[in-house]
């Protein structure tokens, strides 16, 4: 049920300078979704009355990501005054009129936080009736974070940013996680008192704590159960650490759901992937986008699948695939390249060093070796010979090849599209098929072979080949 007394503000206006990227920091992907999408999904799970996202740097790109994750939610543009305090000050204006509930502020670059942690934090904030609560964590390396300063009897006093901290304060290992709960009234009152008099010339949201404390209000810093939950992403190293942590959680989740994942350390699974129990994921495998692997299928080793569907019991080995649908019991690889629009029927095969694109290969049909099959439809139970190429591109346009059912094509065939091979037809080895082949016909167009006796002796005298031929008795010397 919607919590009418809860508003969530997500801060996503910063540039993320330390990423050194043209992509806004909050849009860097983690497990296949922008960092910000993870934060918004958590916000949505709290079912608050409103979610307000503050944007500025590359605002259109960031706003578009918000619209995808939380369609119709409020987006507020931060003005040129920098700082997390300014961001919240402007977001407050978008709260429903007269809102006097709790305002939960989340940093857009703290993506691993989950709803359970936040609900516990919020519950405690409400139980204690304090003006503000801050989630804190003890980090072995607190570098870069704001520090939680406590007074002599341990009471939370204020937050000092790393750049404003003195040597003693920098030794504090309890950090501000960037997650805050405020009473709306207390927050409104103190936002007006923020200044930019600090090392970064920004309005710090964190200064609200000291201001509230000075005004006699109660504030609390609440340590989080596990520090990794509140790891912030400020540079690429932290991005990789956070991605690895999230991946480990995803992998473990699937293992507990009945999927065999042989090597968690080298297996990467996006959040939107779906795996069925008894699927087997072998080492070195990346499952991306909306990939689905059905029960009993074996994927990997060394396989990357983006938006693919792998049917029950299929086997996909050392393969790179995008937008491909592999039927139940089918076999793919090793070393296959499945490009978008590949559809392999049940019990079919796309074998070694085979590239496919826009190709429907019917039930039980096989393309076992060294082939390119593009813009093609193949019926059922056909076999495409080793080294076959569909020549689908005339330099300007793409054309289709149609191969019927129960067809047998010889090795090293070229199918010059548009062309059609009828049901039950055969083609000879090395055939360049330029004309349609009727059902049941054999197509051949390779010239009959002529053997020119003693050609090597005549044209390559004195070579090792000529000597070998002479030893094999290829004929007398030629005069
Ligand atoms: C902030 C906290 C720090 C805390 C850390 C936790 C402040 C002043 N400091 O520092 O105490 O330990 O997070 O991760 O808040 N943003 C805006 N508008 C701005 C600036 C930032 O919306 O003008 C957004 C950013 O997009 C980001 C978030 O606020 O999502 C935090 O900004 P960032 O610059 O990363 O703050 P930190 O230096 O990490
Ligand atoms: Ca940060």
Contact 372 CB / ligand 1 (< 6 Å): no
Closest-CA residue to 343 (of 316, 329, 362) = 362
C-alpha of residue 434 to centroid of ligand 2, in Å: 62
Give CB contacts under 8 A, 24+ apart, made by 287-293.
288/32, 289/32, 293/259
Ligand (nearest to CA of 25) = 1
Q: Is the model's pTM score more than 0.95?
A: no
**pLDDT on residue 97:** 83
CATH code given to domain 236-443: 2.160.10.10
407, 382 in Cβ contact below 8 A? yes
Which atom of ligand 1 has the smallest separation from the CA of 205? 15
User: What per-residue confidence (pLDDT) applies to 475?
Assistant: 55
If one residue of 87, 178, 234 were mutated to test the ligand 1 pocket, choosing by the most ligand atoms within 8 A of its CB, it would be 178
pLDDT value of residue 96? 85
Pairing, β 174-183 against β 132-138: antiparallel
Tell me the residue length of the chain: 479
Q: Tell me whether the CATH fold assigned to 3-230 matches the one assigned to 236-443.
A: no
CB of 242 within 6 A of ligand 1: the answer is: no
Ligand 1 atom at minimum distance from 146 CA: 11
Cβ(206) to ligand 1 under 6 A?
Answer: yes
How far is Cα 419 from Cα 109, in angstroms, rounded to an integer? 54
Q: Strand, helix or coil at 13?
A: coil
CA–centroid distance, residue 65 to ligand 1 (Å): 19
Q: What is 3-230's CATH topology?
A: Spore Coat Polysaccharide Biosynthesis Protein SpsA; Chain A (3.90.550)
For ligand 1, the distance from its centroid to the CA atom of residue 142, given in whole angstroms, is 15
Q: Where are the domains of the chain?
A: 3-230, 236-443
Task: Quote the distance between the C-alpha of residue 380 and its chain's center.
Answer: 34
Which residues, in sequence order, are CB contacts of 465 under 8 Å at separation 6+?
A: 456
Residue found under tokens 């692997």: 293
**Ligand 1: residue whose CA is nearest its atom 32:** 14
19 lines ligand 1 (CB under 6 A): no
Nearest CA to ligand 1 atom 21: 14
Query: Do residues 78 and 86 lie in contact, with contact meaning Cβ atoms separated by under 8 Å?
Result: yes
Q: What pLDDT tens digit does each residue of the chain (479 aa) get?
A: 999 999 999 999 999 999 999 999 999 999 999 999 999 999 999 999 999 999 999 999 999 999 999 999 999 999 999 999 999 999 999 998 889 999 999 999 999 999 999 999 999 999 999 999 999 999 999 999 999 999 999 999 999 999 999 999 999 999 999 999 999 999 999 999 999 999 999 999 999 999 999 999 999 999 999 999 999 999 999 999 999 999 999 999 999 999 999 999 999 999 999 999 999 999 999 999 999 999 999 999 999 999 999 999 999 999 999 999 999 999 999 999 999 999 999 999 999 999 999 999 999 999 999 999 999 999 999 999 999 999 999 899 999 999 999 999 999 999 999 999 999 999 999 999 999 999 999 999 988 999 999 999 999 999 999 999 999 986 555 44
Q: Which residues are catalytic?
A: 369
- Which string of b and e fits 159-196 if b means at least 16 CB within 10 Å? bbbbebbeeeeeebebbbbbbbbbbbebbbbbbeebee
Q: 350-360 burial by CB neighbour count: b if 16+ within 10 A, else e? A: bbbbbbbbbbb
For 273, 303, 343, 361, 402, the CA distances from 346, given in Å and listed in that order, are: 22, 20, 10, 9, 19
Q: What pLDDT shows up at residue 164?
A: 97
State how far the alpha carbon of 101 is from the alpha carbons of 70, 85, 113, 395, 466, in Å.
21, 19, 22, 65, 96
């Amino acid at each position: 049920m919607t919590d009418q007394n809860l508003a969530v503000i997500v801060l996503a206006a910063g540039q993320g300078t330390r990423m050194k990227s043209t992509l806004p920091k909050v849009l860097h992907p983690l497990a296949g979704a922008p960092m910000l999408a993870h934060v918004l999904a958590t916000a949505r799970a709290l079912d608050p009355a409103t979610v307000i996202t503050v944007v500025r740097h590359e605002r259109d790109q960031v706003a578009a990501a918000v619209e995808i994750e939380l369609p119709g939610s409020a987006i507020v543009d931060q003005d040129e005054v920098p700082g997390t305090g300014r961001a919240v000050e402007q977001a407050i204006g978008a709260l429903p009129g007269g809102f006097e509930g709790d305002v939960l502020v989340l940093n857009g670059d703290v993506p691993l936080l989950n709803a359970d942690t936040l609900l516990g934090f919020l519950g405690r904030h409400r139980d204690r009736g304090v003006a503000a609560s801050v989630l804190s964590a003890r980090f072995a390396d607190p570098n870069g974070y704001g520090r939680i300063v406590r007074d002599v009897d341990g009471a939370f006093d204020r937050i000092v940013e790393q750049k404003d901290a003195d040597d003693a304060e920098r030794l504090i290992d309890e950090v501000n996680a960037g997650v805050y709960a405020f009473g709306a009234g207390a927050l409104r009152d103190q936002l007006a008192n923020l200044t930019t008099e600090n090392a970064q010339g920004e309005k710090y949201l964190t200064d609200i704590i000291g201001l509230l404390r000075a005004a006699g209000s109660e504030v609390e810093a609440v340590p989080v159960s596990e520090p990794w939950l509140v790891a912030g992403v400020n540079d690429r190293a932290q991005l990789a650490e956070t991605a690895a942590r999230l991946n480990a959680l995803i992998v473990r989740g699937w293992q507990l759901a009945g999927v065999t994942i042989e090597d968690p350390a080298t297996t990467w699974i996006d959040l939107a992937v779906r795996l069925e129990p008894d699927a087997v994921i072998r080492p070195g495998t990346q499952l991306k986008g909306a990939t689905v692997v059905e029960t009993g299928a074996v994927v990997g080793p060394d396989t990357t699948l983006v938006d693919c569907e792998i049917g029950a019991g299929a086997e996909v080995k050392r393969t790179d695939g995008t937008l491909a649908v592999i039927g139940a019991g089918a076999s793919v690889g090793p070393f296959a390249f499945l490009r978008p629009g590949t559809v392999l029927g049940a019990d079919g095969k796309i074998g070694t060093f085979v590239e496919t694109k826009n190709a429907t290969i019917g039930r039980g049909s096989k393309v076992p070796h060294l082939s390119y099959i593009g813009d093609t439809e193949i019926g059922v139970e056909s076999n495409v010979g080793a080294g076959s190429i569909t020549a689908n591109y005339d330099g300007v346009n793409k054309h289709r090849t149609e191969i019927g059912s129960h067809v047998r094509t010889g090795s090293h065939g070229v199918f010059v599209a548009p062309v059609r091979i009828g049901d039950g037809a055969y083609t000879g080895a090395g055939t360049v098929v330029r004309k349609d082949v009727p059902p049941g016909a054999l197509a051949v167009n390779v010239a009959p072979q002529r053997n020119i006796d003693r050609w090597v002796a005549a044209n390559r005298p004195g070579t090792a080949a000529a000597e070998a031929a002479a030893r094999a008795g290829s004929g007398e010397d030629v005069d």
